Structure 1
Amino acid sequence: MHGITTIRGDRGRGVIPRPTTAVTAVLARCLFRALLAITGMAGAGAALAMETGSGGPSIAISLADRRLYLTDTDGGTRSFPVAIGRPGVPIPVGDSSIQRKRRDPTWRPTANQRRDNPALPRAVPPGPNNPLGKFALDLGWPAIAIHGTNDPESIGTRASGGCFRMLPEDIEAVFTAAEVGMPVRVARDSLSGGAPERPASQPVKTVPVAVPAAVKTAPSSPPPQPAVPVPPVAIAPPVPSPAPVADPRCATVTAPLRRMICDVPALALLDGRARGAQERFLAGIDDPAARAAAAYELIQEERRFHERIAALCWIRSGTEGDPAVAAAAQSCLTTALDRRLSDVAERIATLRGGTRMAGRP
């Protein structure tokens, strides 16, 4: 047989075929190629594992989307809106991780924040006035965290001091899923993939069906209906806004927050309406002692409002020097003063419940 050499055993009991040199070379090449293919498949599998599964649960934040993306252990991703740093405030970008989880955190303003606004307290304990909300996830960057907020309307805007704010229910979900050491990446670009959001419901497309001419009939006109008289609808007159009362301190005030309110007419109008509601309420109190006590409560309420909003809107000396920062601060302050009108009304209603008013027994 061609290519086969026969070798007899020592005792001649059988014939054992053995490949020649050419056949051996062919078999070696085939075996080598098979090993290469197996190695390449293993390498591709390892690369895919590194690309898709090495990170595990993680958090990504897009400054462009103003959203936080939470990847769970099963690979599913949930997204939540966040508030990011206001204009002029540096926002960390890159990779970090969760260093600590805090439930009911205490907010301690940084040295820079206290230097810019000496009226800030050294610490704010847990409660409704705490700007961190009920949950906080401290990151590897100094004084940067993912946390809740006591100002839900700021979510989705540029309003923070560099941290990432979330709605109370959203931060609770992220806090529950997060673990210390979980990687966090902050990116400037969009992470949504650019897919436009579809409306909740799509209109149903109707396809016209051709009707034979023999089947078509002229539309029948409906019989005339008697006219039904429509009764006039009474429209309630709009509730007038409280007349504004100017702040007498505007001529000499120097505090940055009060100065901004006095210098911007729209802000002064909102502040004047809240002030007018308070003064009319105090003027209607018959008992002098009760009037003084109510006035003290309102003054303390205004002071707490100023301290919180000065930090929230990042209003400090020099804010007006940067047009972009000043515009952001004024927008933030407009929202806060507009909400203050309803807060003052609620506070007055509470005080009125325990105050002797003029004309009342």
Structure 2
Amino acid sequence: MNGVSAFLRFAAIALALALLPVAAGAQQVIKLTAVDGYPPRALWVKVFIEYFIPEVDKRLAATGKYKIDWHQAWGGQIVKPRGVLEGLKNRLGDIGVVTTVFYASKLPLNNLPYYTPFSSRNPRIVSQVIDELMEQFPEFQKQFDAQNQVALTNYSSIDNYGVFTKAPAQNISDLRGRKILAAGPNAQYLKAVGAVNVLGNLTSYYNDMKTGVADGTVIWPEATITFKLFEVAPYYMETDFGTGVNKSITVNKDVWASLPAEVKKVLKEVAVDYREKMAQAALDLSDVSIKKFKAAGGKIRTLTAAEKKQWAEMMPNIAMDLAKEVEKRDGYPATKILAAYMNALRAAGEKPVRDWDRE
């Protein structure tokens, strides 16, 4: 009996041990490096860290089949702010946040909202419309195909662009000759009023203005507070340029092809939810940032409806010019996409100051 009992005990232990490795071994660990050149204090990186990553982990844990081992590389650890697209293309990272506004020629369709200023200051509407257009027009993904990437979502981290300056600007004409920092496409707004565009990125704007490289910047209120730009540019001309889709979450195509279907599904779904979180965060922080700006001594000059219309009409039709250029150069149906974009804004209740698609 002793021998039988010992055998049974051994068999039970062996069976339990055998089952444990099977359960543990069934979970596949996938290593992913997430990148952006901006630091964690940047709103979109902060929300990526605090929502996107834990939410992906949570949803994958529901089945237990897959687990992601995240390596996070922010603030220039691997790529600079203007180097994320190239970094992901060459697999310096696996997944990341591309600042699409830096790539007007490589990602022209994503930049269309930047060529339709005074159209919408609602990041949720603009982000949703661009993602819907990506589903409707395969040319959106073709842009990213050329960069060896898959786009999961396109979104805005911005509520409303305006002009922040070191010295007061009471009228549009006061901007003539001033050196104003802008990320790229919104430089077109400045040219119309005689300002001089200076290229840069958000992480360098403070020092650029402090050292005299620039007299101001086209930026949005939340960024002014987060990056302390109000200390060097305490005058805000509220122009209501509006928002633009300035970010995309993308994955290296080779990495994407290697991922299990369940992981792809979770990444895609969480990316869209992250887009909505970002829009809400931008909207929530807009009024808060204005209050903080005023509390710090900032002064605000809000343009009248007539002045906004005047500024819009001073510009050539930059949206139609871009659309025609893209059609000729890339073969994309850009004028059709521009019309679809503007019509979607109108259908959502937005009232563009200028009908960029109808001229």
TM-score in terms of structure 1 length = 0.29
More helix by share: 2
TM-score in terms of structure 2 length = 0.29
- Structure label with greater radius of gyration: 1
| Greater relative contact order (CA < 8 Å, ≥ 6 in sequence) | 2
